[in-house]
Structure 1
Amino acid sequence: MNLNFFFEVLIGGLLSGVMYALVAIGFVLIYKASGVFNFAQGAMVYFAALTCVGVTEKFGVSLWAAIPVTIVVMILLGIAVERVVLRPLVNQPEITLFMATIGMAFFIEGLAQLLWGAGVRKLELPIEDVPSEYLMEKYNIVVSQFDITAAAVCGLLVTALALLFSKTKVGRALRAVADDHQAALAVGIPLKRIWAVLWSVAGLVALVAGLLWGARNGVQFALTFVALKALPVLILGGFTSMPGAIVGGLIIGASEKLAEVFIGPYVGGGIEGWFPYVLALLFLLVRPEGLFGEKIIRRI
């Protein structure tokens, strides 16, 4: 086996894994602080990408002018979801909140198509999808420059979120809310305001993911299914851990590409679609809480 080709596949998978991790982080943010599995995260990714493209087409502005407008829209969407849908359901059973996010997913998808149309759109970022000249000349490895840049953007966003949670007053409040809602309320932390901030941040994460995935695959309804790719990532990394989302994304991205290239020819096509879920299922049997997840002990 050509070692250079192996590293090309591995690096390409790792870079894709970083983008999977970005989508997974949107889930982690909401689940960690509120215990809600936000099934609407994929719809938010689609809504963000379609809104950005729709603003450029309808108002004839550049992408860089449309991005700030979309940021404001996603913040307002996050706040609206928290206030109108989830706030009235506080202290309801988890299954009720989960079903509410499923309903939100369909509503957000329909709203996006109602506002901007359902056709496939092209999203062009100022990043060329060509092999990196440096890696070709230095190591004779073909890796997309777009993948490298997208991974760098995701890395910067994750670093910014980590600093937000660890170094700021809002971040400390978010961690307190994640640990114990009632205790956070008892010490004067405004729980509803913190949740509004959290959903706004989740909207911004959805925007970055929507721009990157939309530029790669086109802005289309299939973007909503990117969220399903995050499920194996969450199972491996843990639903409450941001580092776990990153590590899980790298594992899923690398294993998916390696399986597609080296196992796919022997079992038929389409292995990249189901292999991550089989890997996650096997992992569930060994460590259900994930690599970085907290063990849950229930006393009866």
Structure 2
Amino acid sequence: MNINFFFEVLIGGLLSGVMYALVAIGFVLIYKASGVFNFAQGAMVYFAALTCVGVVDKFGVSLWVAVPVTMVVMILLGLAVERVVLRPLVNQPEIALFMATIGMAFFIEGLAQLMWGAQVRKLELPIEDVPSQYLMDNYNILVSQFDIMAAAVCGMLVIALALLFSKTKVGRALRAVADDHQAALAVGIPLKRIWAVLWAVAGLVALVAGMLWGARNGVQFALTFVALKALPVLILGGFTSMPGAIVGGLIIGASEKMAEVFIGPLVGGGIEGWFPYVLALLFLLVRPEGLFGEKIIRRI
């Protein structure tokens, strides 16, 4: 086997994994602080991408104008979801919150199509999807320049979120809320305000993910299913860990691509669609809480 080809597949998978990790981080943000599995994250990714191209097409503005406008829209959407839907359900059973996010997913998908139409759109970013000339000239490796830049953008966003959570007053409040809601309330931390900030940040994460995936695959309803690819990532990394989302995304991205290229010809096509879920299922049998998840011990 050509070693250069092996590295091409591996690097391509790792770069895709960074984009999977970005979607998974949207889930982790909400789940860690509120215990809610945000089933609507995929719909938010679709809404963000469709709004961005919709603003460009309808108003004839450049992408540099559409992105800040969409950013404001996504922040407002996150705040509205927290205020109108989830805040009235505080202290309700977790299943009620989960069902609420399912309802939100369908509502957001319908709202996006009502506002901008359901046809497939093309999202053009100022990044060409061509092989990196540097890697070609120096290492004879074919890796998309778009994948490299997308991974760099995701990496910068992850660093920014890490600094937000570790170095700021809001970040300390977020960690306190994640550890114990009642204790955070007891020391005067405004729980509802913190949740509002989290949903706004989740909206921004959805915007970045939507633009990157939309530029690669086209802005279409199928973007909502990107969220399903985040499930194996969360199972491997842990539902409450941001580093776990990153590591899980890298593992899923690399293993998916390797399986597609090296195992796919032996078992037939379509392996990339189900291999991550099989890997996650096997991992559940060994470490149900994930690589970085917290092991919960309950007394009976």
Deviation string for 1:208-238 (max 9, x for gaps)? 0000000000000000000000000000000
Q: What corresponds to 2:224 in structure 1?
A: 224
Q: Counterpart in 2 of 1:147? A: 147
**1:185 Cα deviation after fit:** 0.4
Identity of aligned residues (%): 93
| Cα deviation, residue 254, structure 1 | 0.1
Paired with 2:160 and 2:298, the residues of 1 have a C-alpha distance of 35
Q: Using the alignment, how far apart are the partners of 2:288 and 2:91 within structure 1?
A: 25
* Rounded Cα–Cα distance in structure 1 between residues aligned with 2:96 and 2:299: 23
Q: Aligned-pair distance for 1:139?
A: 0.5
Q: 2:242 and 2:236 mapped to 1: Cα distance?
A: 12
2:163 matches 1:167: no
- CA distance in 2 between counterparts of 1:60 and 1:136 reads 37
2:242 corresponds to which residue? 242
Q: What do residues 242-300 of structure 1 show as CA deviations (whole Å, max 9, x unaligned)? A: 00000000000000000000000000000000000000000000000000000011122
**Distance between the aligned counterparts of 2:126 and 2:174, measured in 1?**
35
1:201 CA displacement: 0.1
Listed as ranges, the gaps of 5+ residues in structure 1 are: none
What TM-score, normalized to structure 2? 1.00
- Alpha-carbon deviation of 1:174? 0.3
Following superposition, the deviation at residue 10 of structure 1 comes to 0.2
Q: Residue in 2 aligned with 1:31?
A: 31
Structure 2 residue runs without a partner (length 5+)? none
The more displaced of 41-50 and 89-98 is 89-98
2:88 counterpart SS class: helix
Q: Secondary structure at the match of 1:296?
A: coil
Alignment partners' CA distance in 2, 1:49 and 1:297: 41
Matches within 5 A, 1:34-183: 34-183=34-183
> Which runs of at least 4 in structure 1 moved beyond 3 Å after TM superposition?
none
User: When the two structures are aligned, how many residues end up with a matched partner?
Assistant: 300
Counterpart-to-counterpart distance in 2, 1:250 and 1:233: 8
Distance across 1 between alignment mates of 2:120 and 2:227: 18
Query: Hey, what's the Cα distance between the residues in 1 that align with 2:178 and 2:111?
Result: 31
CA distance in 1, matches of 2:161, 2:139: 33
Within 2, Cα distance between the matches of 1:107 and 1:201?
20
Q: Does 1:256 align with 2:256?
A: yes
1:52 offset after TM fit, Å? Answer: 0.4
* Offset, 1:70: 0.4
How big is each residue's C-alpha offset from its partner over 1:33-54, in whole Å with a ceiling of 9 and x where there is no partner?
Answer: 0000000000000000000000
Q: RMSD between aligned alpha carbons? A: 0.4
